[in-house]
Chains A and B, each alone.
Chain A
């Protein structure tokens, strides 16, 4: 029997303690799991958690109920999510008044509340368990498998679920060389965007001369619309830490850093707590699990700079400097943080490591495509029915992600493109929806895997605006060190802005392409080298749309103000007068029972009439 807060002094302690925990949890027949990921927490799920706790405490019935805070389930669209065991009953969009009823009916009475179940919008079928929902059943959850099951603030939950067994295995029976061999055999590639083979990186670092090596976890997830790493750090922080300890063992590092965005306070809190628990248990610090291997981790918070996702900029930041990238002609595995050999991997990459050790490199390599193995987590957002976090095997088609998991485009609009790879990624059009999700496949299409943002766009999205938006984002986030990125992005933004204003010039597309080529060839870091991807990919697939802006001063998606007009559909107009009253410049005329009209000369194209019309009678033409 190992006492509940004992320090582990041997690898065998882990399995013994996990067994002990599992036996103990059998005694608790009912468990309520409330998601407190950022998405659900924004809809007040913490309050739900408190209410369930109170209900459990006050319950006169002699039944043991455990209430758990758990990490993100991924189905943020339908939050707050509450899961009840036994039965894995999946309730969605739970509100405060529901708590008492759930407690009485489901937890005590064992009856399912139909109205809180997910209903398939197509078939009308209700799903009792998550696995029955299309959003989940197409997914393959490896990295996210414990998200939503365990309480991220309790190391015991992670241990009971088999946590740190990979570390125990490594320390008790594997040499560093064998660890690296397994990672190489898995063909795991970096999940942060670059896709560099992790095993090869580790080997180079192990072979690099010099002591004081470092292990770094990149948690500076800056892509707008991406929250994969946040959900892992918040929902399962120990999986990241375990991966890092194993990595440190493999390359021979004694100090590790986790670099987290300051905008992720919950992730910082959960990681900080997890590190403290890990130290107490003898899983971090001197002589881990009684071996002569020592390693510790510190958390460093970012200061708000997208470029710090770039590894050399992140290192500059970890050295207390502005996050400016530097040349990588000498690799970081040779000379990284403070000039020492350094391995830097992103959150999702680290999380995969314990799985690979436990199941073997071959198991991992059996998932996915020839050159992209394992699974990948994406944050599926934009104009799609189901937004949320999804984990799929590499090689699945974009169509299955968008249509089956995502449920297709919102409001019956037509699909136009899916943007992958973050701001430096690209837009993939409908004709390539059957492309497989794979590092090389996406690159071939002019986009990239990136860290896993996936933004769905519909027919109302102007692709020139999309390019402009990302170029503006990157221009604001450029560190300004090298000439092509700093000056080139400003020049490209200048050109894109004039195109969206209807002031495009005949040779603007050629100019954009030339600038794009210059950036790709001459910029210092990956941010600059790939900054033109949004422009190049939109020109590649939507050139006609650019030409309409430039030659005809027309925005086909009717998004660029001034490049389309408003018109009232006389048949749809009910002459209610709302548009007329709301027009800020009195550009609408009409009387009762007479369809209204817009005087184009007076109209400032502000769009108020379009917003206000209750009958959708105002058209964009």
Chain B
């Protein structure tokens, strides 16, 4: 897999604090969640990737080029959506997208064709001539993503893209991003919303105190960070006998039964979902669903940060 972004021992020395050395790469077609507490180095990584900040030492390559020295070539095909509210409040969405189109050297006809499409895609077509300063926080966030998608980029760098967006918008954005990735696009997404990262990303890069703590797949991240796995099972008729049967499965540490569901703590490095399913079916308890807890990524994140601190 060829890399769209590579950080090689990149260090940013701010004097009072140092970010790095950071080394990781992002392959084409990946959806990478960039995780870390505030001030950990996520924004610095993004800014170095975009050529907005120059690494003090080390190297950053975007699309195989130095984004600082070869800015206008390295940034071709890259869309960036910053955190709120870095958009020109005095402009209208249509004017902003026209400006972006001109920055991308699009022809007038291309700008005219793309602007309504992009605005419709993010649900802002009706607001194309409103002043950005009059739009709600969520709408500005949508517009931020819209301007990043002008010119049909192949790489999207999104800084907290879901902040301020209503639940329907979140669902809509997920589908937009999935469609983008299915078309061959790559996404690097900084976020504090772990469930969103789990939902969208294929892998994560976790930074803490300026250092890379983890880089890899989400399940590997959870596996490596947590000492145990939490499996949630929904059954129609949970019985003490079922709980007892599950408790004796090798690798199961504990089973907690609540109304209609069972929380099973399994040892690290095991995948007991198949054994548990078989046991529930054998007891005729009416298996409704089985899966790892959605909160695992939150716990893994906290564990990883604590572990590295």
Same complex: no
